[in-house]
Structure 1
Amino acid sequence: MARQLIALPTTFTSLPYGLWDSVQTPDAGGAHWQQGVTWEDRCPTGDTTYDECLSVTGTGSPPEPPAKTANVVQESRGALPFTVYARFDCSPIGLGDAQTVAQDALARVEQLQVERAFWTGTAGGQPVVFPHLAADTETLDGEIVLQPVATPVVTGADIVTALGLLEQELAECYAGQGLIHVPRSVLPTLDAWNLVEAVDGRLVTTAGNLVVAGGGYPGTGPDGAAPADGTTWIYATGAAWGYRSNVFFSQVRDSLNRSSNTLQMLAERNYLLGFECCLLAAHIVLGVPTE
């Protein structure tokens, strides 16, 4: 007796706290972003001054205040798009469900693939995703910075020390709510040390930064090297933003492989990601309290 063919009864749910859940998604104003974008990144440090007529030092009036100097770093930055896709091969008999299956396959993998590309800078096996996290070399397009260098703030430190130093550097660089990018393997360590809490569906550090726990984040260092067992790299950025296209499907007339009489159905989506000001890195030792 033939077994009944059924539709898979489960519903796929993406892992929480992923990259796309944490980035801002402004209106792209059309589709031209898919050719790449540029913007002026303005990262102020600020300064203080005083009115010499109203100020005293305890030993008399202070001297004339120094001239006010420029303290906003301006840099032309750029970002390039990349594509995540899923391909589904089927018999022409199954054409009615092919597009649905391809779209479902894309939904299951696109978060992981976007996170992997954003961490490593690689798409299709080539270093073409800019900007990304794990970078030890600046990449320029003329005078436009496509890729800043990730600045390590500490190596081989416990999570408490490393996160504290990372967030201090982030506060000095950005002074607003930034993102802490970690592989999911770091979550038990963060939780054991009570360094994060869930707030409105997001993970937030005690300092107020958002934690991106990427299933596609491999934990590699700025030079791309894999970390030693029991350790990983984490990164910090200013606020991140992104655009993504609608899902595109291959046309049936273009999908038929006549040699095998199969349809090669594609579902794909274009992404572009960027972040403000800072790119910082820390190498941490995983582990939970022993006392």
Structure 2
Amino acid sequence: MAILTNPQLVEAPSPGRLRYGVFTAARVTDDLDDRTVASGFQFPAEDCGVARLYDANCDTHPDKVFDEGLGYVAGDPYWVYATHKCGSVGRTPQEVERTVRRKLAGAEQEQVEAAIWGGTSPPVDPALTTTAGVVSVTPDGPGAGAAIAALEQSFYDAYGYVGTIHINTRAYAALAYAELISDSPSAGVLTTPLGSQWSIGAGYGVTGPAGAAPAVGSVWAFMTPPVWIRRMQRPIVPDVVQTMDRVHNQYLALAERVYAHTWACPIVHAVQVPVAAPAVVDITPPAA
């Protein structure tokens, strides 16, 4: 039992590593400069498109089909911020600044996941639920296994490289029960048996294309080409002494970071995934 009522203040312990989420599955680069913050970015979608079989016979000489143009994909910037309000007595400016930086570091991934999913205010582009031309997939049977298999089949019919599956964490147990998450993740990235990358995010929603609600007991999952997240090299933290509320003697600390994201091609497929995972396996032998 403590004798004194003023416990000694010590340094906060390390929180450990960030949870698994889109920061693990995506390519994250700290190279968002001032010009990109002002205008966003785009690049040519050179790895998208289809190839065709050709019947090289001497009778009909069929024409080859040529695809016109080159598409572009883009990412628009958005801001993620954290704040901290604290009385100035007993806290140094350095302690207050460190606190708001740590708060942002632990919470920004969830906000980026929410922006990627869509439906945020202000809206972010691109977003999964608002992307035009999303292909909605109908599974061939019940269960999470059939849903994800149908999603991968549909997606890989349109894209030749490894894709990323985005899904809310509440579906995790069903995915694990169906053995859809590899026991041997590559470089810390969870994958399906086919090698598709999982982005299992607490910040994701459960709605589908155009904000469609899922069936009872299910969530929507989306599959995209690889995700590229760009952000400023370091958060912006104004001098807490300068932002102080001197009337009420309160520190008003702010930490913010600008993000932008996109995927390699404008290809998005979606499917509903049931979240139920049986707790007990029925091992009753069939009747003779």
| TM class by smaller structure | 0.7 to 0.9
User: What is aligned with 1:87?
Assistant: 83
CA contact (8 A) 2:174 2:276 kept: yes
Segments of 5+ residues of structure 2 without an aligned counterpart are 283-288
- Asked whether 1:100 is paired with 2:98, we answer yes
Residues 12 and 206 of structure 1, relative CA distance in 2, 3 Å threshold: same
How far off is 1:288 after superposition?
2.4
User: What is aligned with 2:138?
Assistant: 154
Could you tell me how far apart the structure 2 residues matched to 1:29 and 1:287 are? 41
CA contact (8 A) 2:181 2:192 kept: yes
- Asked whether 1:41 is paired with 2:81, we answer no
User: What is aligned with 1:144?
Assistant: none
How far off is 1:38 after superposition?
2.1
Residues 220 and 72 of structure 1, relative CA distance in 2, 3 Å threshold: same
Supply the AA of the counterpart residue of 2:255.
A
Structure with bigger strand share is: 1
CA contact (8 A) 1:14 1:108 kept: no
User: What is aligned with 1:142?
Assistant: none
Could you tell me how far apart the structure 1 residues matched to 2:30 and 2:194 are? 29
Could you tell me how far apart the structure 2 residues matched to 1:14 and 1:150 are? 34
Aligned-residue Cα RMSD (Å) equals: 2.4
How far off is 1:210 after superposition?
0.2
- Asked whether 1:134 is paired with 2:138, we answer no
- After superposition, the C-alpha distances for 1:65-111 in whole angstroms (9 at most, x for unaligned) are 42222247732332211111110112234223011000111111111
Q: For 2:98, what is the secondary structure of its paired residue?
A: helix
**TM-score (normalised: structure 2):** 0.84
Residues 251 and 23 of structure 1, relative CA distance in 2, 3 Å threshold: same
Q: For 2:137, what is the secondary structure of its paired residue?
A: strand
% identical aligned pairs? 26
Segments of 5+ residues of structure 1 without an aligned counterpart are 53-61, 136-146
- Asked whether 1:7 is paired with 2:10, we answer yes
How far off is 1:121 after superposition?
4.5
Residues 178 and 72 of structure 1, relative CA distance in 2, 3 Å threshold: farther
Supply the AA of the counterpart residue of 2:203.
G
How far off is 1:50 after superposition?
4.9
Q: For 1:98, what is the secondary structure of its paired residue?
A: helix
**TM-score (normalised: structure 1):** 0.83
User: What is aligned with 2:24?
Assistant: 21
- Asked whether 1:78 is paired with 2:55, we answer no
Could you tell me how far apart the structure 1 residues matched to 2:160 and 2:62 are? 24
Range that drifts further, 161-170 or 214-223: 214-223
Could you tell me how far apart the structure 2 residues matched to 1:73 and 1:193 are? 42
CA contact (8 A) 1:88 1:264 kept: yes
CA contact (8 A) 1:221 1:227 kept: yes
Out of 272, 279, 287, which is 1:283 matched to? 272
How far off is 1:225 after superposition?
4.7
- After superposition, the C-alpha distances for 1:184-213 in whole angstroms (9 at most, x for unaligned) are 111111111111114131111011100001
